[in-house]
Amino acid sequence: MLRLLRVLSPLGDLPRFRGNPNGFLLDAARKSGDLVNFRLAAQNVFLVSHPDAIRDVLVTHQANFTKSRMLERAKVLLGEGLLTSEGELHTRQRRLVQPAFHRDRLARYAVDMVACSANARAAWCDGMEMDVSKEMARLTLAIVGRTLFSTDISSEADEIGAAMTEIFSLFDTLLMPFSDWIQKLRVPSVRRFEEARGKLDRIVYGLIAERRQTGEDAGDLLSMLLLAQDEDKTRMTDKQVRDEALTLLIAGHETTANALTWTWYLLSQNPEAEARVHKELETVLGGGLPTFDDMERLPYTTGVISEALRLYPPAWAIGRRVKQDYTIGDRTIPAKSILLMSPWVVHRDPRWWPEPERFRPERWLPGETEGRPKFAYFPFGGGARTCIGERFAWAEGVLVLATLAQRWKMGLVPGHPVETRAVITLRTRYGMKMKVAARPPQNRLN
Ligand code: HEM
């Protein structure tokens, strides 16, 4: 009877999915295996959880897929930026933006990443309590502002943060069936969303106007976007520059802030790993600030970030829409279905990760990684749509953690509830209240 009701329900599994999407997906894969079919309102959805099948969708047969509904909806905020555009426009924009992430550029960004982190750590004091998720969002926003736009947007950080929260809350609604109607009705949440989007627009168009006026080539991403020319000598419109800039601002700070927040939480729960990080930082850095070149000499600290991205992948699900009927195993997936691939699910699969719930940065040390299929771990996706900021994110994760952990430890405030909230990224439901403690002076030199 219950089953019949579910089949007849116009929302399908949507109510259960919305309450706890990552939990729902994990349950589904555990109960029903590597390919699970369910319905979210009118959408026919397939959860794909075998690494080889994921590789086929993201890489081998990528031409047969477009972005899923979630990212199509994101156009109301991001327009036609890299994350949301498709086809030729995407290929062209990706070519124009890519040089901003070359190795020599990253080495320069690394200096700013460390400088921003050193500012943050200098403002902390022993015993101070803070919401680490907010503090990390402020820090990563400052870093994106400085590296990609050569500007200090930290004064606007709270405003941007509040706008993002508003936008994320409405996003849940935008994913609902009938969301076009909800938008047209301009209910209060839609009005708040539009106000928040207006705020972000003012900030980004302000940056564009300032730069156009001075005509200066600051050598950063914004100048590259403004000066980039196609073969036919056309330049991007302000709207296209705005879409790309806002995409990078949002994609570039929210994800890394989440990853760092979960990293602090995991370290606070695993004192042995925390002690090993401290030891590595002392041995390798000897009290000096970290640099881009130090990163390869910090394998354990890098392992901590890898393991945090395994257990709490900021992009907890990646979706694709099927263009033409597609076959996985002996099953035909009809055109227009949605395929979901979830790092949250696959990163917890005991076939690839013994004791999957255990935080063990050692899994990432040389010699430990052999035999794992490539797509058993895909926090940055794969194929033509793979994260353009992946190397930026690795540098940022490791250098921010290294700089802050040289001086400080974090302890979870007793009783503070810790839960995930899977919206677009894997946020914390109640923030992350932690207490800062100075590391004993004999363990640090500056
Ligand atoms: C831990 C940090 C990050 C994670 C986990 C992450 C994850 C991802 C994932 C999974 C995708 C692919 C989505 C899909 O295939 O549908 C993606 C795309 C993208 N990411 Fe990231 N990202 C991170 C940091 C960054 C940073 C720092 C930037 C920029 C500074 C960035 C910019 C982008 C952009 C522009 C795309 C779209 C690429 C395209 O479609 O061509 N991301 N990211």
Q: Which residues pair with 12 in a beta bridge?
A: 40
Q: Which residues make Cβ contacts (< 8 Å) with residue 76, sequence separation at least 6?
A: 174, 183, 197
* Ligand 1 centroid distance, CA of 251 (Å): 6
The closest-lying atom of ligand 1 relative to the alpha carbon of residue 258 is 1
* Ligand 1 centroid distance, CA of 380 (Å): 6
* Ligand 1 centroid distance, CA of 283 (Å): 33
* Ligand 1 centroid distance, CA of 240 (Å): 18
Q: Which residues make Cβ contacts (< 8 Å) with residue 162, sequence separation at least 6?
A: 196
* Residue nearest atom 39 of ligand 1, based on CA coordinates: 385
**Residue 215, pLDDT score:** 81
The closest-lying atom of ligand 1 relative to the alpha carbon of residue 385 is 40
**Residue 183, pLDDT score:** 56
The CATH number given to 2-443 is 1.10.630.10
**Domain spans of the chain, in order of start:** 2-443
Tokens of 84: 């949301």
Q: Let me know if 267 is exposed, middle or buried by CB neighbors in 10 A (0-12, 13-18, 19+).
A: buried
pTM value > 0.85:
yes
**Residue 34, pLDDT score:** 98
- Ligand 1 site residues (CB inside 6 A) read 82-83, 94, 247-248, 251-252, 255-256, 259, 314-315, 318, 379-381, 385, 387-389, 392-393
The closest-lying atom of ligand 1 relative to the alpha carbon of residue 382 is 15
Scored b (16 or more CB within 10 A) or e, 402-414 reads bbbbbbbbbebee
* Residue nearest atom 20 of ligand 1, based on CA coordinates: 387
User: Hey, CA dihedral for 369, 374, 375, 378, is it positive or negative?
Assistant: positive
**Residue 3, pLDDT score:** 53
Residue in 221, 387, 396 to alter for ligand 1 test, most ligand atoms within 8 A of Cβ: 387
C-alpha angle 248/393/386, rounded to 5°?
A: 70
User: Hey, CA dihedral for 303, 308, 311, 312, is it positive or negative?
Assistant: negative
Tokens of 23: 């939990």
* Ligand 1 centroid distance, CA of 316 (Å): 12
The closest-lying atom of ligand 1 relative to the alpha carbon of residue 381 is 10
**Residue 445, pLDDT score:** 47
Q: Quick one: how far is CA 251 from the chain centroid?
A: 6
Q: Which residues make Cβ contacts (< 8 Å) with residue 400, sequence separation at least 6?
A: 113, 117, 139, 140, 143, 256, 260
- Per-residue pLDDT tens, the chain, 446 aa: give them: 445 545 557 777 887 888 899 999 999 999 999 999 999 888 899 999 999 999 999 999 999 999 877 677 778 888 899 999 999 999 989 988 888 898 888 999 999 999 999 999 999 999 999 999 999 999 999 999 888 888 877 677 777 777 777 777 666 665 555 555 555 656 677 787 788 888 889 888 988 998 888 888 887 888 888 887 766 777 888 999 999 999 998 888 889 999 999 999 999 999 999 999 999 999 999 989 999 999 999 999 999 999 999 999 999 999 999 999 999 999 999 999 999 999 999 999 999 999 999 999 999 998 888 889 999 999 999 999 999 999 999 999 999 999 999 999 999 999 999 999 988 889 999 999 999 999 875 444 44
Give dist(CA 154, CA 157) in Å, integer. Answer: 5
The closest-lying atom of ligand 1 relative to the alpha carbon of residue 148 is 30
* Residue nearest atom 3 of ligand 1, based on CA coordinates: 255
Give dist(CA 170, CA 194) in Å, integer. Answer: 10
* Ligand 1 centroid distance, CA of 85 (Å): 13
